[in-house]
Amino acid sequence: MHSDILHVRNGVVVIKGPVGMGKTLTALYLSLYHQARHGLHIYSTAELYAVAECSCGGRHSIVEDSYWCDKKGRSYSRHESEFVREVEYTHLSNFWDLQVLCDKLKEAEEPPSSITKGSFLMDDGHKFLDSRMSQSKVNRLVIGIIQDYSRSQLDFYITAHHLDMLDKRLRRHISYFVTPTFYEGEDLCVAEIQEVASGKATQLRFQPSLVYPFYKTEERIVQSRYL
Ligand SMILES: [Zn+2]
């Protein structure tokens, strides 16, 4: 499934569709996939967590060195886990962080730069890239990064409810559209991937339960009720 359409360098990938269809899940899956296979750093507007492989067979988010297993109804320290999956990522929680990233980009003399090469997971992209804010500083920063792809070597995975919420200059740079469907009961996410240049379509299937703990925070809330 990945052999043809998902290369190391994907440019701008827009994951679109209604709420609850697995947009963030799919964006994160793609970012994690490229980190696992190609060692690409992740820049993320969403907070990510290391994940414990639990003896229950599931995966749980590690928050403050512990994780909660709802099957066993208790919490564990991360050291009790059989295996911990770390995420190498930089949290870009606000516009200032984006400015810092852009400053680093400008400092980089020659590509490839180890500072910037990676995947940029921009969750709810329209909040950063709202077309009504096309003159905003953030917008210009992001468009600048995308236009100077050879320097930044950043692939963007942008989730959006509607395409028209994104700036039209950004839209010109989109290389793939991804439309996921989330089947919660079956622990399945099916994403239709379309390459803009060729029109070629392919399908990506993965288990949400393997990806969800990397950004899920509900477990922390459940856990705190027992403390
Ligand atoms: Zn467990």
Q: Encode burial over 71-105: b for 16+ CB neighbours within 10 A, e otherwise.
A: eeeebbebeebeeebebebeebeeeeebeebbeeb
Q: Which of 74-88, 92-106, 171-185 has the lowest mean pLDDT?
A: 92-106
Q: For the segment 123-178, what is each residue's pLDDT rounded down to a tens digit?
A: 887 676 655 555 566 677 778 778 777 667 889 999 998 888 788 888 888 999 99
3-48+89-214 homologous superfamily:
P-loop containing nucleotide triphosphate hydrolases (3.40.50.300)
Q: Determine the pLDDT at residue 67.
A: 93
Least trusted range by pLDDT, from 13-22, 97-106, 125-134 = 125-134
Segment holding 30, helix H or strand E: helix 23-38
CA dist 24 and 113 (Å) reads 27
Residue 223 has pLDDT above 50, yes or no: no
Q: How far does the centroid of ligand 1 lie from the alpha carbon of residue 63, in Å?
A: 14
- Range with the poorest average pLDDT among 22-26, 159-163, 190-194: 159-163
If you measure from the C-alpha of residue 54 to the centroid of ligand 1, how many angstroms do you get, rounded to a whole number? 5
Q: Which helix (H) or strand (E) holds 89?
A: strand 89-91
Question: 58 CA distance to ligand 1 centroid (A)?
Answer: 5
Tell me which of 95-99, 129-133, 193-197, 210-214 is least confident.
Answer: 129-133
Q: Residue 69 CB: number of other CB atoms within 10 A? A: 19
Q: What is the pTM of this model?
A: 0.85
Q: Which residues surround ligand 1, an ion (CB under 5 A)?
A: 54, 56, 58, 69
Which comes out higher in pLDDT, residue 216 or 209? 209
